[in-house]
Structure 1
């Protein structure tokens, strides 16, 4: 009897291999146990996993005998392997090769081979013997094993009574055959249906698969459940396999006849979700006479071991002996049994198995019968589809998925992520982190972690700012040792509001709109619309448009066709620019921006020659207005010029329905621009005032054109300080990235820029730059990184200045300065301070054509000399400003004294800096206002 334990269970029936040597089994491998009329040998799974094994019987001559399934049934052997891989070999004490001493002591010897190969080569061989004592035989004992039925009857020479033939029909029927048989020959007569009989010698019966033997005190017959002479019979609703036979032996002067009938249940079980019910007839007619039966003992057990009432009660078993049926109830999942995995239509399912035993001893007439039934029970498959728990914390940006629950006999083989299939080791090497988790009861789950950024993760955008990450999974699992694979599909999702939408900012001047669009973190995944038209193609050529990898600028005049007029006054127009960004796929609006400004515009002209001119425009409150349909009070006076948004009227004060009135010395002319179409009303009043009785003296003479006078105006200069990702100065940290984390000696790339100015003559210079421990520019401690436009001579790592050249983003290189410093930490009392560092710069904006100040001449001159020269020149042309960066946090992975800035060298800085700044600001304040007007 040979089999293999591993990922699959294979029962191999092979011929006896040549044995080389044998030895005693290693400790813990083999255990034995006597179970009444059964002998049990158990092999531990830990010695058999992944190997082949074989069990042979050693006969009385010491020769190993290979056991086939037919021989196992005929001789009284059975072999089972539980789901963990433990082997249980059972032998009847009346089996073929047992050494029987007086039906009291029994010795069994087996040969166990274990090999890594299926041909049993290189096998290790072990001999195991065991001895059991069993002498308390009942007159008749019936054993119902898994694969055979066995009956043994005490044999003696009873007195022959004529009443026996009359009382026992089978004996009466067999008597003619018995008296006619040859002397000294054992024979068996099988009683078939409809009073038919079949006579066999012992040799013939054994050729037919029956096991027949005599021992010192007993006669034994063994048969398979499906033997030809066995017939099914329903007894008290329980299906039974019944073999009715009489075995006899004839001598010249006597005939010994033994009733060797057998009856064993083939079923009788029923199931609910919580309970197993097994019923066995209490009275089995083929085995008992017509006289009443007296039950002497009814006891249940598990795996051939009888249980005491306390154990039965503790395990919540029920043993109920009724007048017709003996009922055993076992809760599903109770101790003594085990669960086993299986597959049902590619769905995970489980069953519960237990091997109850029933021993019923009864008395009929004056003899006892012991009926022992070993009846393994397995429940129908119970579907247990695995559950998938999504334990993902979206902010961690890693999928955390749990799959379970499985029994210990389930292994995870591989996982398919989208179109990629990986075994568990391959997935862990890729960083997916698949782990098995085993619970105290042996059940287990599997967890899986996959980053959101993995290529196998699908992404879907849910406007306006949410991304949904989708992970499709297909798990391949396998049930061992049967090697039954099955799959389970799942899809987990996580939504994160991690989309940074594009932002729009803008401002106006006297002529138009200026709008800046920052892309956000999704790139250019949207389409810009100005008003109702897509900003592209010919529309881009119409307006000034600059673009780079992170943003674009658009400049549009206030009277562009895509602008909207909100309010009209005699000297100004309030115009609005609407900019919309729509998703490139869904066309949903991501961002809307409106910029509304008032622009000085002359709407009415009153000429001294008696004519009037008026400009009428389409306003937002009258969306359906057609400017070419506008008229004056006289409907025949139509626009001199018109387009989609405006109309120009030119007419004489004495025409087109113009009215006049006198008010003291003023003559007032009035008319209106009206809409003649249906819809919302449109009315624009036109008024001109002339002074009556006023004399003007006009003198004509030749003179040179007067010099141009620049009228003063007010505006703001905007200076920003940015931190670049690297020395290319292409990408910069955004507001959301602060505080930026850096390590000691890591380069910091700063850029200071003058924004919004279109003056090519303006030039920005760095005066002083320093770092502080707080956002307050004047706080201590501080460390100078740029002093008087030059690097700090006291610094171990000097500040590096980088040149600026023009490109798609940089239109005026003179508006920018770039420098590089190494990341450092402050120290106080020789202890490095932990926290954030802020960088600040004082900048000077100069006229590149008038470099009276030393800074504007790009020289490194001490502050006092520079101040003196400015006073001497009497013309301060520089405008000063202060700018700061966001916080930068230091991560210390070591202590480097050269990068730790002390505060002693700068303790005098606040006082001196305050005095210098006060003097400079006093002098520069005299001319600052004029200078701003010239260079804004």
Structure 2
């Protein structure tokens, strides 16, 4: 049988009473029928060796020597453990009054150097010997019986074959005969048997027989469909006419076990390997710590007797068992159980037999299923993904989110969070949280369905300890938010303009707000004279009258309606989704409008043109045929093309300015004060930045409204006939208009030689 460095594992955590810590990674423990040394391979290296030491010398424990002398060395490098078990009857154990002294050398490579460690322990028998004790170890069978359990020749039917050898024996020395069905085996003396690998000994009133598995004299058979190996040995001595004979039958179940779908490691043995009257008592457990059957069953073990066999089931999560993760493409796991079973029976002569099994059972590689569970709650606006059933020897080392790599733990400044969740069964999990609106999250907006989709591809990198083998687990998570409607502004009118307000919603970032084609930004607001404020709660926009973006209608002396519109567009496509349009009625004392089609509309307040007798003077523009459209008291409404009614203009590098002036008829000057009068100048300025075609026809077209001014001066009456005189004070529609670096040179009565004149967008300014 192969030396069992291939399967087993270091069990148990030693208690303070029976376990000594010799050095880091080495433990020793006394158990009921054997002594155990457990060594961590991380301390000893890959190939530790043991030597048995007694007064006669030092003996290397090789594979063959271990089976012959009562030692079992088992290891599983994948689990990182190696274990030595030594029978209390092992070859080099000193026994005095059931005090067993063990001496070993551990040969190990530690920190690159080979070293020898002396390991010594004395164990006291904790449970009295039964009359007959049989041990089925991993690599040998051992039988010990009390010396007084003997019978005269021929009284035991099982010894019929041995009787022939006894009759023919002429020596008084102890002889051994092995029996096989229908086959007579010649006897041999004990010395000859030892040369064949058997151990026969007498110690402190007990006869001992030990044999490795697979000896030529052993018998492999089946009992109740369970594979069994047995060696039928009889030891006898002929003293005169009396024959002393001892039956040393060794029989062990060789069943390897299997892992069932219910999560149990199943193993079985025939109930009656040895003669029994009234059945057997059973104790089972792991790591040399057997329990009474009722206690074991309460802990989840299965103990059933069925058709002459005892079926034992070990729950996969039994205390004292061990599991190990393993990566072969996918993630697998296997379980290792160091099973101890005791069967106690009485034969017809009331001789008690204790049969002990020590079996290391290993499951096949089982798929290990790590799963992800989407625990996202939409109203939290955050992905919450749980990674579960992660084995205790597997840890999460890094994570990839939409192909971006992150090591763990996340930085303190990260918006992501991952928390470990521990469970009593040894497994653990991880909960990952990623905000929907983080830059790493992919988004897609389905405009027609008003559905916003968030996508997160996750690749977990896990490491299997202690070798740090990598295993990858991936998941794709999608969250859908329905009824994602574009935001809407509230709007209110005031005397000076319109105020818009928007309370922020989680998805405002999907949209952009524009005035016409221009995106609303702080820079745009500053250039156009808007007042913009934006905080975490809301956005407010105050749009004063006469700023760019207004549309005016129904202009009369009583006022006009002003309409302002904010467009809501999809940020990715600039497609208009909705808009907020507000129209308000305004009635300023006076104002000026410069339209895109070149119409100048002015409402001017002219109190000085009214005589003391209440009679109003006749008023006109520079062309006296252009009079007001309407008058009411001191207020007059003029509406005329900018390039008519006796206008004057200035053509600058970047602009053109049209100017006119409101006059009253000089025939009525005697009705006005002789000291002073009022001069009222009106202007419209348009930029030339988008000039396309010149002088094709008498027509004026501008992309946007112009900038208007009403300029008033107070001067002596004699100056009325000099409209080109530089004014001393002006009324301007907004302070946002830029001042000219060069003075405007107006040419009275000059018509431009252009026939078609097109200018681009400009601020619309009106004053009052």
Q: TM-score, normalised by structure 2?
A: 0.56
The verdict on how the C-alpha distance between 1:524 and 1:223 changes in structure 2, with shifts beyond 3 A counting, is farther
Q: Hey, what does 1:371 align to over in structure 2?
A: 355
**Cross-structure match for 1:315:** 299
Contact in 1 for aligned 2:400/2:458 (Cα 8 Å): yes
Unaligned 5+ runs, structure 1: 12-22, 506-518, 529-544, 553-578, 598-703, 715-757, 763-804, 816-845, 854-872, 883-931
Aligned to 1:490: 475
State the 1:445 CA deviation: 1.3
Deviations 1:465-485, CA, capped at 9 Å, x for gaps: 654332222323344457665
Deviations 1:494-550 (A, max 9, x none): 346898969999xxxxxxxxxxxxx9856899xx9xxxxxxxxxxxxxxxx966797
Q: How does 1:777-926 map to 2 (within 5 A)?
A: 847=709, 850=712, 877=731
Partner of 2:62: 68
CA contact (8 A) 1:340 1:350 kept: yes
8 Å contact kept, 1:243–1:263 = yes
Aligned residues of 2:75 and 2:81 also touching (Cα < 8 A)? yes
Aligned to 1:361: 345
Partner of 1:402: 386
SS of 2:31's partner is strand
Q: Which residue of 2 aligns with 1:171?
A: 162
Distance, in Å, in 1 between the alignment partners of 2:160 and 2:714 is 142
1:143, CA displacement in angstroms? 0.5
Match of 2:461 among 471, 476, 493: 476
Q: 2:251 aligns with which of 263, 266, 279?
A: 263
Deviation at 1:98, TM superposition (A): 0.9
Q: Are 2:25 and 2:42, in contact at CA under 8 Å, matched by a contact in 1?
A: no
The answer as to whether partners of 1:236 and 1:281 remain within 8 angstroms in 2 is yes
Q: Which residue of 1 aligns with 2:577?
A: 591
Cα distance in 1 for partners of 2:235, 2:630 equals 136
Cα offsets for 1:854-884 (capped at 9, x unmatched):
xxxxxxxxxxxxxxxxxxx9998456899xx
Tell me how far 1:462 sits from its aligned partner: 2.9
In 2, Cα distance between the equivalents of 1:549 and 1:196?
A: 109
**1:95 equivalent among 90, 93, 103:** 90
SS of the equivalent of 1:442 reads coil
Alpha-carbon distance change, 30 to 521 in structure 1, aligned in 2, over 3 angstroms: closer
Match of 1:281 among 270, 288, 291: 270
Q: 1:105 aligns with which of 99, 102, 108?
A: 99
8 Å CA contact retained: 2:198, 2:211: yes
Q: What does 1:607-756 align with in structure 2 at a 5 Å threshold?
A: 707-709=625-627, 711=629
* CA distance in structure 2 between the partners assigned to 1:481 and 1:204 by the alignment: 49
Closer, same or farther: CA 48–344 of 1 in aligned 2, 3 Å = closer
Alignment of 1:390-539 (within 5 A): 390-392=374-376, 399-420=383-404, 423-424=407-408, 433-450=417-434, 457-463=441-447, 466-481=451-466, 485-495=470-480, 521=509
Indicate conservation of the 8 Å contact 1:3/1:53, yes or no.
no
CA distance in 2, matches of 1:455, 1:174: 91
Task: Answer yes or no: is the 8 Å Cα contact 1:395–1:496 preserved in 2.
Answer: no
Cα 1:383/1:880, change in 2 over 3 Å: same
The change in CA–CA distance for 1:40 and 1:462 in structure 2 (over 3 A counts) is same
- Over 3 Å counting, the alpha-carbon distance change for 1:462 and 1:225 in structure 2 is farther
Residue 142 of structure 1: how far off its partner (Å): 0.9
Q: Indicate whether 1:150 and 2:138 are aligned.
A: no
Give deviations 1:419-438, integer Å, cap 9, x for gaps.
45555468889775544333
C-alpha separation in 1, matches of 2:127 and 2:420: 52
Deviation of 1:171 after TM superposition, in Å, equals 0.8
Greater per-residue helix proportion: 1
1:170 is paired with a residue whose SS is helix
- Going from structure 1 to structure 2, the CA distance change for 1:158 and 1:32 (only over 3 Å counts) comes to closer
Identify if the C-alpha distance between structure 1 residues 32 and 402 changes in structure 2 by more than 3 Å, giving closer, same or farther: same
- Structure 1 CA distance, aligned partners of 2:459 and 2:69? 49
> What is the total number of aligned residue pairs between the two structures?
561
Distance 1:32 1:248, change over 3 A: same
CA distance in 2, matches of 1:878, 1:416: 61
- CA deviations over 1:70-105 (Å, ceiling 9, x no partner): 433332233567998777543211112211337x33
Comparing both chains, which one has the higher relative contact order based on Cα–Cα distances under 8 Å and sequence gaps of 6 or more?
2
1:40 pairs with 2:28: no
Q: CA deviation at 1:262?
A: 1.6
Deviation at 1:211, TM superposition (A): 4.6
**RMSD of aligned Cα (Å):** 6.0
- C-alpha deviations, 1:20-57, integer Å up to 9, x for none? xxx9825996352231x3223456x7x96796684634
Q: How many Å separate the matches in 2 of 1:439 and 1:334?
A: 15
Q: Distance in 1 between matches of 2:108 and 2:324?
A: 25
SS state at 2:421 partner:
strand
| SS of match in other structure, 1:25 | strand
1:377-436 CA distances to partner (integer Å, 9 max, x unpaired)? 456666552221334456766544321223322223443444455554688897755443
8 Å Cα contact 1:113-1:126 kept in structure 2: no
Contact 1:499/1:522 (8 A) holds in 2: no
Please give the secondary structure, in 2, of the residue aligned with 1:111. Answer: strand
* Matched-pair contact (CA < 8 Å) for 1:471–1:492: yes
Cα distance in structure 2, aligned partners of 1:380 and 1:31: 30
Q: Deviation per CA, 1:274-322, whole angstroms, max 9, x where unpaired?
A: 66665432222xx44xxx7455754444432343467446435565668
> Any gaps of 5 or more consecutive residues in structure 2?
11-19, 491-506, 525-565, 584-621, 633-654, 660-686, 691-702, 716-726, 737-763
State the 1:264 CA deviation. Answer: 1.0
Contact conserved, 1:356 with 1:377, CA < 8 A, in 2?
Answer: no
Matched residue, 2:153: 161
2:756 equivalent in structure 1: none
Give yes or no for the alignment of 1:385 onto 2:369. Answer: yes
Structure 2 Cα separation of the partners of residues 237 and 350 of structure 1: 27
Name the CA shift for 1:52/1:456 in 2 (closer, same or farther; >3 Å).
Answer: farther
Cα separation, 1, equivalents of 2:314 and 2:149: 44
Question: Is 1:128 aligned with 2:120?
Answer: yes
1:874-921 Cα offsets, whole Å, 9 max, x none, are 998456899xxxxxxxxxxxxxxxxxxxxxxxxxxxxxxxxxxxxxxx
Range moving further from structure 2, 408-417 or 588-597: 588-597
> Which residue is equivalent to 1:904?
none
- How far the C-alpha of 1:273 sits from its partner, in A, is 1.2
Shift of the 9–498 alpha-carbon distance from structure 1 to 2, 3 Å rule, reads farther
TM-score (norm 1): 0.47
Q: In the TM superposition, what whole-angstrom CA distance separates every residue of 1:128-160 from its partner, at most 9, and x where no partner exists?
A: 322323794444321112333222344579675
Q: Residues 511 and 571 of structure 2 are in contact (CA less than 8 Å); yes or no, is this contact kept in structure 1?
A: no
1:334-388 Cα offsets, whole Å, 9 max, x none, are 5554555456872455647462422323224464432122344456666552221
Q: Find the aligned partners of 1:348 and 1:497 in 2 and give their Cα distance.
A: 41
Contact preservation (8 Å) 1:246, 1:257 = yes
CA contact (8 A) 2:713 2:728 kept: no
Contact 2:282 2:341 survives alignment (8 Å): no
- Distance, in Å, in 1 between the alignment partners of 2:508 and 2:92 is 87
Shift of 1:443: 2.5
For the residues of structure 1 that align with 2:765 and 2:246, how far apart are their CA atoms? 134
